[in-house]
Amino acid sequence: MKPVVGGGAGQPRACSCRPKAGYHGAHARRSGLGADPGHPALCLDNCSAAVPRPPKALPWNAVADRASSSSWRAWVLGGLLPAYLLTTFGFTLARVRGDSMLPTLRSGDALLLLKYPRWLHAAGLWRAYPRRGDLLVFKAPADSGYAYETVYGVRHRPYNIKRVLGLPGDTVAIQDGRVQVNGQVLAESYASEGFVQDQAAQRVPPGKVWVLGDNRRLGESLDSRAYGLVSLRDVAGPAGLRLWPRPGLIAR
């Protein structure tokens, strides 16, 4: 007999059954196992045994979809997000192109670019940035004729690497081929020999730096002698380490 929910006249009603009083009920109470398996529970009052409906089946891909969605979110939050934060605010890799920094750096050298000093300085937590002698990675002033280049038909604003010699508040000049800062000649053991054209004294305003390439041979480096002062807003950060092919600290 099929169970009927809310049965009508003359039809059995769905109900919850209990064992009929007697042997089976007593046996159930003693054993704690319910009705005797050999004698199913008897229903009273002409009602059928209530049969629970089976649970509704989930779509075949429901569990897989939930698992894959969770895995995707975990992969994004656990992998991509930390990588993005690290390369944006921590450090990243940079590769040298050209000979303007010879003999300190060679074309193809791989460097570790430190980005966190810039953000700490902007937050007022790192005042000694940049330091004189640091190798800064930056973009040339946008209003100069050296800011953009075209590669494969695409015009973009590349990064440069030069040594910062003039800090905000300094007065920089080149006299007799030697760089002077605040009237003092800099000892530049890292620079190559070559002709350096004299330049009149120039005061570096706040938020700017004066940069120069280590390769002092005529025409080998485009730097502040060509495009002027560099804004700190255009500086990505200092290059702290050479990773390849000669690992080690970079001379300051």
Catalytic residue list: 100, 162
Strand bridging mode 208-212 / 230-231? antiparallel
How many whole angstroms separate alpha carbon 212 and alpha carbon 146? Answer: 15
Q: For 32-68, give one letter per residue: b (16+ CB within 10 A) or e.
A: eeebeeeeebebeeebbeeeeeeeeeeeeeeeeeeee
Q: CA of 114: how far to CAs of 8, 134, 181, in Å?
A: 82, 11, 26
Pick from 91, 85, 83: which is nearest to 239 by CA? 91
Q: How far is CA 4 from the centre of its chain?
A: 63
Look at residues 231, 239, 238 and name the one whose alpha carbon lies nearest to residue 140: 231
Number of Cα atoms under 13 Å in the Cβ half of residue 119:
10
Which residue blocks in the chain are alpha helix, DSSP H? 23-31, 62-75, 81-89, 116-122, 224-227
